[in-house]
Amino acid sequence: MLDFSRSYGARLHQTHRAGPQAGTLPAITEVDELMNKSRRSLDALNKLREVLVAQQAVYFQQAQEQRFKSETEARRDDSLHQSEEAKGGFAGGEPKKRRGVSLFELCHTNNH
């Protein structure tokens, strides 16, 4: 396309008359060739665009799946944490038992 533009532009500038002359106009075959090259370029760009759109769709799908997975894991972790808190922590619901005899017990057994 660039070569055609340069060639045709040079032919137009060589003539000083007003308007294009018969010898300065491009041949129909030249125009047909340019149109075919333009179609091939457009087809190649359309194929490239399709690949890019498909690639972008896959990327967004993967990102969405990753977000969903992260949110699901976070909810699962929250619910496990809340469940453990309701049981009284990870050790269970029973309070810890002290070993030995308390000072209160010693005082009351000795006084009675």
**Model pLDDT for residues 16-42, shown as the tens digit of each residue:** 555 656 667 888 999 999 999 999 999
Distance CA(34)–CA(28), nearest Å, equals 10
- pLDDT at position 62 is 95
The model's confidence at residue 93, banded by pLDDT at 50, 70 and 90, is: low
Helix (H, G, I), strand (E, B) or coil at 86: helix
Judged against a pLDDT cut of 70, whether residue 98 lies above it is answered with: no
Judged against a pLDDT cut of 70, whether residue 49 lies above it is answered with: yes
Q: What is the mean pLDDT of residues 89-97?
A: 54
The model's confidence at residue 74, banded by pLDDT at 50, 70 and 90, is: confident
